[in-house]
Amino acid sequence: MRLFSLTMILAAAVLCGCATGRTYVKPPALKPGDTIAFVAPAKWRDAEAVEFTRQQLEARGYRVKIDESVSDKYGYLSATDEERARLFMRAYEDPEVDAVFPVTGGFGTTRMIDLLDYDTIRKNPKVLIGYSDITGLHLAIQKKARVMTFHSPFATYMYRTEEDGIDRTFMFDHMWGAIEASAYADRTEPGWTISTDDLTTPSKTMVPGVARGRLTGGNLSLIHAVHGTPFEMETKGMIVFFEDVGEDPYRLDRFFSQLELSGKLDDPAAVILGRFSRCETDDPENSFTLAQVFEHYFADRPYPVVMDFPVGHVIDNASYPMGAMAELDANAGTLRILENAVRVDE
């Protein structure tokens, strides 16, 4: 009986290791000649921007497939929940597709994440990029499939049809450096480092220290939206990053309060507070500042916390591999990705 019990425990441990995220699947790195699928799992993107981005990716050497709904309008969505889920899964089921590029965020991913086939996604790992509302997809895939995805800029925002004089080199280099095979060939060790040393807005240390853990996080509003569902973010032992846009401090306070009350802020390995764009109050005499909200929830934590890190609705938006092992040095303001986030041995 003792032998039987031990066998059952060991078997359960093996299953638990896969189910709780101890084993992640990495997608193959991209290389010229591969095929990228444009999808619209949330809002639509105008046809001109989609076409211009397609031309830029083809000039880089990639083939591009565009699903039929990317510029369609269905309310504030590109299509019905069922149709968006079907087209998203079609990209994963297509053996010719190597990467899945949402054309924008907006709203809607949480309406269709329960319609996806996560076994198929795990069996067919592909580079998935995006941020903002795409956080819903990142968290769901991290929780249900354990496939590394990339919280990163959209290609349609890196390549712009208009000349606006904005230097997008930082986001451009970080995204291709995270997903393209050629970038890994030049490195002497796995992974890469995200730093604010050369940026106009340097990071700030709230709680000093160094910690390691797997990466998770994204848009705070989306993290809040999936909280209490089967797709909610796991934080224990993780390096968690947050960003948001257009939310008043009282709303961010409410989001953090929910995470606090549910224990999600008790035991991360570390926390990264990214850029919270247009999140200051219009009524400063009757409100806390954004910094005060952060201080209330994070100033006395027993783990490292850093502020103003390059993630969010900003030009300095780095790419973060969801599920990858990383090390945050809050003193130096650096995040080291400790492993290759894609397979580069093929």
- The catalytic residue among 243, 247, 319, 327 is 243
- Do the beta carbons of residue 273 and residue 309 sit within 8 Å? yes
Catalytic residue (one of 138, 174, 224, 313): 313
d(CA 188, CA 235): 31
Residues pairing with 336 in the sheet: 193, 327
How far is Cα 26 from Cα 5, in angstroms, rounded to an integer?
A: 33
Identify whether 174 is a catalytic site residue. Answer: no
Taking the C-alpha atoms of residue 243 and residue 313, their distance in angstroms, rounded to an integer, is 8
**Contact yes or no for 138/319 (Cβ under 8 A):** no
Distance from C-alpha of 343 to C-alpha of 328, rounded to nearest angstrom: 23
Sign of the alpha-carbon dihedral angle for 160, 161, 162, 163: positive
**Distance between CA 105 and CA 136 in Å, rounded?**
10
Catalytic residue at 189? Answer: no
Which residue, 303, 312, 114, 97, is CA-closest to 221?
A: 312
Contacts of 83 (CB under 8 A, 6+ apart): 69
CA 167 to chain centre: 22
CA 50 distance to own-chain centroid: 21
Our answer to whether residue 132 is catalytic in this structure is yes
Q: Which of 200, 280, 211, 199 is nearest to 241 (CA)?
A: 211
Residue tagged active-site, from 132, 195, 221, 319: 132
Reference 266, options 235, 307, 294; nearest CA is 235
CB 148 within 8 A of CB 27: yes
Catalytic residue annotation: 132, 243, 313
